[in-house]
Amino acid sequence: MSPEVKLLLRFLDEGFEKKAWHGPNMHGSVRGVTAAEAAWRPGPGRHNIWEIVLHAAYWKYAVRRRLSGGKRGSFALKGSNWFAAGEAEGAPRWEDAVSLLVREHAALRREVAALTAGDLGRTPPSGGKVKIEILVRGIVLHDIYHAGQIQLIKRMKRK
């Protein structure tokens, strides 16, 4: 495995589940969160933690699908980007939402691990203008952004 790919994997791990200097990562931010806390909304029309977790899982899938050239519409839930959560009809249970996030991260990590240094400067097989390295870095930043958002929502809820 190339040093460049190893570095991207390290970034993925720090943004998702490994200890990092910036504080809680995505998986750490939902550790210990109850279903009631995950369903709480900080205001009308605002996203809750449950929805953010499903959103993060979806985008891990979307990046993986772009890297692999996979078929659109193969995500575990019907729809895209934001999904109904909490008490909404057809919403996955909280534990299932977190499990989906973990599974999608592992699948994305496997896809990234299969890359070569030469792949990083190319656009993905699925097309688009964004190079593979930028897609992978972007999903890391996406995790860290939403981990911070979750931390803020938790603090507001527990206030």
* CATH number reported for the structural domain that contains residue 21 in this entry: 1.20.120.450
22 band by pLDDT with thresholds 50, 70 and 90 = confident
**pLDDT given for residue 24 in this prediction:** 87
**pLDDT given for residue 79 in this prediction:** 85
159 band by pLDDT with thresholds 50, 70 and 90 = confident
Q: Does pTM surpass 0.75?
A: yes
Mean pLDDT of 3-21: 93
Instruction: Classify residue 150 as exposed, middle or buried by CB count within 10 Å of its CB (0-12, 13-18, 19+).
Output: buried
**pLDDT given for residue 21 in this prediction:** 83
The 10s digit of each residue's pLDDT in 37-80 is 999 999 998 999 999 999 999 999 999 999 998 888 889 888 88
Residues 20-59: b if buried by 16+ CB within 10 A, e if exposed: beeebbbbbbbeebebebbbbbeeeeebbbbbbbbbbbbb
Structural domain count, the chain: 1
Range of the domain at 9: 3-158
The 10s digit of each residue's pLDDT in 84-138 is 887 766 678 999 999 999 999 999 999 999 999 999 999 998 878 999 999 999 9
Mean pLDDT of 142-150: 96
64-67: Cβ within 8 A, 24+ apart: 64/104, 64/107, 64/108, 64/111, 65/126, 66/124, 66/125, 66/126, 66/128, 66/135, 67/108, 67/111, 67/112, 67/115, 67/124, 67/125, 67/126, 67/132, 67/135, 67/136
What is the amino acid identity at position 115? L
